[in-house]
Amino acid sequence: MRLVSCREPCRDSLFVNRARMRKIALVNQKGGVGKTTTAVNLGAGLARLGKRVILIDVDPQANATLALGLTMKEVETSVYDVLRGEAKASDALVERVPHLLLLPSRLDLAGVEMELAQTIGRETVLREAVRDLPPADYLIVDCPPSLGLLNINALTCVDEVFIPMQCEFFALQGIAMLTRTIGLVQKRLNPGLKLTGVISCMYDARKGLAREVMAEIDRHFGGTVFKSRIRANVRLAESPSHGKTIFEYAPDSYGAQDYMALAREVAGLPPEPPPAAEPKPAATPVEVATVPAAVPPEPASAEAAVPEAPKAAPRPRPKVKTVPPQPLPAKAPPEPVTATPAAAAPPVAPKPKTIPPTPGPAVAKPVAEAPAPAGPKLKVKTVPPQPAPPATPPASASAEAVARAFAEGGGGAKADPAGIRATQRVKAQGGAKVEKAPTAGAGPSPSPVP
């Protein structure tokens, strides 16, 4: 790292014309679109092409300063001191990469807008400060993601504007406001300001959305869009953490190829031709000595030509017990075969049919009779008591006559003992007897006898 003063003559000052220095500002109020990455690697690419470049970090986050390997402790004089008038811009330059000078930034720059609020001509403070810089081919300004006083100062001190854009939908939203701001600065503060380039960053041709956004950008900006597109590459995201440019960290990556192509397009140089494939050296013929093949000697005979297999040792035979032959038993004469009639198959008993039980007649449930309605009360006629009839004298002789007549009327049948016993009871009681109804086959029942 080396500090450069304006009193020290530049190595390339004889070949640099201050009037021809291109002053470029990378502006976009949307963050994360690749402004700082483009500013650092575009400047490094131009420096590798032999151009002398000055990079000014106007972002309070100081990302460009960190990307070139400088920490906050190593920065003694920054752009904050230059804007306040406490230091000259030429005294704060740091040469980190050959042919690339850096005017670093610090976090103190975030409060400079408040300090310059009451300053007359606060929009042109940076333009007055850069007049002290040594001659160079390119002056690149990395702007913060806003449209505040720092961005107005950057647009006032440059002649060209590059807009880095991410190939997504939200990148198109702030373009109208940005172009209006550029128009106002051009009209009131910097008539020579022009929009000369749009850089597509993080481009992925596999995504349909990226292709649609690029088509919309081409339709809106026309020929100001650079043909070189910065493809999405993880090496570009890793290089700032190591404090190196993409050409130092991964010179063979897609990011290095794309930013070198962009640098050649900005410088007006033709695209770098692809490396030609190295021709393969012609094969030198090698003389090979021909050695005749050795012919094996012929065997004396066919038997000698076949090697004998090694003989295996004979196995011991197991002892076998000898058993004398036994006489065969005499065969019995065959019995005559008598045809036996086939036994009749037992009769198959028919399966009893299961008859479901016939339901009996439905028994009607007794219905409780309703009580008869109460009718009118009947008049009861009082009958006087009748005199009792005269007592009948006992007739023992007539009872005997009745029994005898019953026996005779039965046609010689035996007298009923039950009737005899009843007659005897009547005799004992001295009264008359009423017989029960005759059974079947019996004669007519006798009438009661007094």
pLDDT by residue (tens digit) across 34-46? 999 999 999 999 9
Predicted confidence at residue 242, as pLDDT, reads 93
| Side-by-side strand order, sheet with 94-97 | 2-3, 94-97, 100-103, 53-57, 138-142, 22-26, 160-166, 194-201
Mean local confidence (pLDDT), 312-317 = 68
Structure tokens that stand for 317 in this block: 């035979």
Cα–Cα separations (whole angstroms), residue 394 to 34, 140, 403, 427: 157, 170, 16, 8
What share of the chain in percent tops pLDDT 90? 38
When divided into structural domains, the chain yields a total of 2
Domain boundary among 267, 285, 308: 267
Burial of 432 (0-12, 13-18, 19+ CB in 10 A): middle
Does 424 reside within a domain?
A: yes
Q: Report CA 274 to chain centroid distance, whole Å.
A: 44
Does 21 reside within a domain?
A: yes
Residues 263 and 409 in one domain: no
- Strand-pairing partners, residue 160, are 24, 194
Band of the pLDDT at 318, cuts 50, 70, 90? low
What is the CATH number for 190? 3.40.50.300
Computed over every residue of the chain, the mean pLDDT equals 76
Band of the pLDDT at 379, cuts 50, 70, 90? low
Does 55 reside within a domain?
A: yes
Q: What SS3 class is residue 30? A: coil
Band of the pLDDT at 289, cuts 50, 70, 90? low
Predicted confidence at residue 221, as pLDDT, reads 85
β-pairing, 94-97 vs 2-3, is antiparallel
Element housing 80 (H / E): helix 79-83
Predicted confidence at residue 208, as pLDDT, reads 87
Answer left, alpha or beta for residue 117, where phi above 0 means left and psi between -120 and 50 means alpha: alpha
Predicted confidence at residue 188, as pLDDT, reads 92
State the amino acid at position 403 in one-letter form. A
What is d(CA 286, CA 298) in angstroms, rounded to the nearest whole number? 35
Judged against a pLDDT cut of 80, whether residue 355 lies above it is answered with no
Judged against a pLDDT cut of 50, whether residue 12 lies above it is answered with no
- Strand-pairing partners, residue 22, are 138
Cα–Cα separations (whole angstroms), residue 110 to 73, 80, 105, 141, 148: 17, 9, 10, 17, 11
Predicted confidence at residue 395, as pLDDT, reads 47
Element housing 423 (H / E): helix 417-429
Element housing 53 (H / E): strand 53-57
Does 13 reside within a domain?
A: yes
Report whether 189 contacts 123 (CB < 8 A).
yes
Helices (H) and strands (E) in the chain — how many of each?
A: 14, 8
What is d(CA 84, CA 105) in angstroms, rounded to the nearest whole number? 13
- Strand-pairing partners, residue 101, are 54, 95
What is d(CA 89, CA 74) in angstroms, rounded to the nearest whole number? 17
Residues 255 and 403 in one domain: no
Mean local confidence (pLDDT), 219-226 = 88
Does 220 reside within a domain?
A: yes
What share of the chain in percent tops pLDDT 70? 58
Does 391 reside within a domain?
A: no
- Strand-pairing partners, residue 227, are none
Domain boundary among 267, 287, 304: 267
Predicted confidence at residue 440, as pLDDT, reads 46
Identity of the highest mean pLDDT range in 207-221, 232-246, 288-302: 232-246
Does 35 reside within a domain?
A: yes
State the amino acid at position 268 in one-letter form. G
Element housing 259 (H / E): helix 254-267
Report whether 235 contacts 250 (CB < 8 A).
yes
Structure tokens that stand for 436 in this block: 């029960």
Which structural domain, as residue segments, surrounds residue 146? 2-267
* Helical pair 417-429 and 396-409, crossing angle rounded to 10 deg: 170
Residues 246 and 105 in one domain: yes
Domain boundary among 267, 297, 321: 267
Does 349 reside within a domain?
A: no
